[in-house]
Chains A and B, each alone.
Chain A
Amino acid sequence: MSQSAAIYLSGVSKRYGDTLAVDDVCLSVAHGEVFGFLGPNGAGKSTLVEMILGLTHPTAGDIEVLGQPVGSLAARAEVGYLPETFRFHDWLTAFELLHFHARLARVPADARTERVPELLELVGLKDRASDRISTFSKGMMQRVGLAQALVGEPRLVILDEPTSALDPIGRRDVRDRIRELGEQGVTVFLNSHLLSEVEQVCDRVAIIDHGSIVAEGKLDDLLNAQEIELRAGEGAEAAARETLGEGGVRQVNGRLRVRVANDDETARLIRRMVEAGVPVYDVRQVGDSLEDLFVRVAERGDV
């Protein structure tokens, strides 16, 4: 399992005193996958990201990155990381920052001279290459941070909120970069609050809450686990419970809300109701966006 995974976590926990920040997390991100990592504030996202990078040590469990034990130099040599705070030494110019990180990432000298200007152009900072980072706006800092993450030609890129300071055009650019990385076979681990961003670029997502993974899977599968709202005659609720079980059936504003895994389940429910002689007047899908899924998880801790 671990050999084929870019990131592999097994029973990972992190405790700070009495607080369990991350609780027995098992997670596997395949090579070349664009993986979205979501969770409300304080859910344990950053702690988990820092553990994957070897910046924070887990209290329990195993982590492998690109087939190497976490924190090993071999693993880190092939990882690019954009920190959430995107705070860099602001006395450096953009050019110097990228050169310094290229050297730390062991990029050979001749490759550095080519790669640094290329990346500055890619993130739209070619004209500001010689300016100190202290003169940059937040958005520019985030863009130079993205270039920094890519400077070592990494096989795995971990982006922590990569577009939080960007305008809509900047966000689109970053989404395009992420898609390109995915197409090039680079694994991307995207930690983001911007659900539309995750929805647009990620193959698979995991949602963490209170330190535990509460949902994980392909985006299509997760989003298909949706609710339908029915306006139906007497006996509808009993029919729903009979067909789909007790969980996931509730009344909202006098209408029946039923959680279904997919469209087939919806069809089965309606067929059952019709067979039971329950009149069905109206059926519509609700909660089919990642935002709804996220809010449900954050509020109730289930999917």
Chain B
Amino acid sequence: MSAHLIAFFTLREALRRRVVLAAALLTLGYLVLYGVGVWFGYRDLQETQDGPPGLTEGVVSLMLVGGLWSLNFIASVLAVFLSVGALSGEVDQGTLHAIAARPVRRGEIVLGKFVGFTLMLAVFIGVSASLMILIVAVITGEIVGGSWAGPFLMLLAAMLLIGLALAGSSRLSPLPNGVIVFTLYATALIGGVIEQIGDVLESAVMFNIGVFSSVLVPTRAMWDMASAQLATGGFAGELSAGPFGASNPPSGWMLLIAFLHLALTLGFALRAFERRDF
């Protein structure tokens, strides 16, 4: 098996090409900005003395969930940018010819890249989410963040996009593939909003459109599940409803659909890349 060599190679390429450095610096800048926001927000919150019990924890939790929503977005964009040209782009450039002529299965190249990108995103989400929880804890004295399942669900959302982008990249050039993957990602996002509005208006059609978009690309559903895990405090449910999460988190079935989605996209990527002519 050479998949681990390709995975390690993929990681090293990102480090060497300063992809990781650029992402780390930008995230650091974002975290500083976020810290300043939390500091002022928390100061204003302390001046409000007449709120119901549990308000402080609820608002702090919302601040964290909002921050993590942004991180989730950055992770999604990073996942797509990293993997959208990973196969076809390299075939077009000719850099994969010498590697694919080695005793390496095409599937190992696909899996190696998938694992490499996933590890990169795992480190990104793990480190930046931990720093964000730490920032909130230091400023507010409140340790919020709920279950560790949250960041894992964020990672799963990124993995879904990597799988989708690799499936496209096995056949399509980077540009059309990027357009398609981003459109699908946006469809899932918009679908989530439609689902929420449908829920409020009690419109079954709108609600079902949202559910369908989540089945098509379960990235938004993964975030909705993650935010439900991340939000804590008495008002968590109410406050997380809105742009940062669903009022009714998806059921456990959505997790199964997500894994099925991942299996399908990766399966397609493996099969299509195996058959591809260079």
Q: A88 an interface residue at 8 Å Cβ cutoff?
A: yes
Query: Which of B55-63, B92-100, B211-219 makes up part of the contact surface?
Result: B92-100
* Contact A104-B13, Cβ < 8 Å, known A50-B278, A89-B95: no
Structural contact, A91 and B17, CB atoms closer than 8 A: yes
Q: Are B103 and A106 in contact (CB under 8 A)?
A: yes
Interface residues of A in 46-73 (CB under 8 A from B): 50, 53-57, 73
Residue of B whose beta carbon sits closest to that of A47: B277
Interface string of A77-115 (1 = CB under 8 A from B): 101011101011101100000001101111000000000
Q: Is the CB of B94 within 8 A of A104?
A: no
Contact in complex: B277, A85 (CB < 8 Å): no
Q: Are B5 and A104 in contact (CB under 8 A)?
A: yes
Please give, as numbers and ranges, the residues of chain A lying within 8 Å of B101 by CB-CB distance: 53-55, 76, 79, 81, 83
Are A81 and B97 in contact (CB-based, < 8 A)?
A: yes
Q: How many pairs of A and B residues are in contact by the CB < 8 Å rule? A: 66
Interface presence of A212 (CB below 8 A)? no
Interface string of B97-114 (1 = CB under 8 A from A): 111111111000000000
| Bound Cα distance A91, B103 (Å) | 23
Q: Which of B67-98 contact A (CB under 8 A)?
A: 93-95, 97-98
- B15 and chain A: residue at smallest CB distance: A91
B43 interfacial contact with A, CB 8 Å: no
Contact between A148 and B277 (Cβ–Cβ < 8 Å)? Answer: no
| Pairwise interchain contact B102-A101, C-beta atoms closer than 8 A | yes
Cα A100 to Cα B105 in complex, Å, equals: 16
Which residues of the other chain, B, contact A76 by a CB distance below 8 angstroms?
A: 101-104
- Please tell me if the beta carbons of A87 and B103 are within 8 angstroms of each other in the complex: no
Closest to B90 in A: A89
CB distance from A281 to the nearest CB of B (A): 56
Range of interface residues on chain A?
A: 20 to 34
Contacting A55 at CB < 8 Å: which of B9, B95, B97?
A: B97
- In the bound assembly, the distance between CA atoms of A87 and B13 in angstroms comes to 15
B103 and A57 contacting across the interface, CB-CB below 8 Å: no
Taking CB atoms and an 8 Å cut-off, the chain B residues in 241-278 that contact chain A are: 275, 277-278
Assess the B277–A56 pair: CB atoms within 8 A. Answer: yes
Closest Cβ–Cβ distance, residue A226 to chain B (whole Å): 38
A140 to chain B, nearest CB (A): 16
Chain A residues within 8 Å of B203, by CB: none
> What's the least CB distance linking B180 to chain A, in Å?
23
A92 and B102 alpha carbons, distance in the complex (Å): 18
Tell which of A54, A55, A76, A104 has the most Cβ of chain B within 10 Å.
A104
9 A-B pairs with the lowest CB-CB distances in the bound complex, closest first: A85-B94, A87-B94, A55-B278, A104-B102, A77-B103, A56-B277, A73-B103, A83-B97, A81-B101
Q: A56-B277, A100-B5 are in contact. List 6 more A-B contacts (CB 8 A).
A: A57-B275, A79-B101, A81-B98, A87-B94, A103-B2, A104-B102
List the interface of chain B (C-beta within 8 A of A). 2, 5, 9, 13, 16-17, 93-95, 97-105, 275, 277-278
**What are 23 inter-chain pairs, A to B, with CB distance below 8 A?**
A50-B278, A54-B101, A55-B101, A57-B275, A76-B101, A76-B103, A77-B103, A81-B97, A81-B98, A83-B94, A87-B93, A88-B95, A91-B16, A100-B9, A101-B98, A101-B99, A101-B102, A103-B5, A104-B99, A104-B104, A105-B102, A106-B103, A148-B98
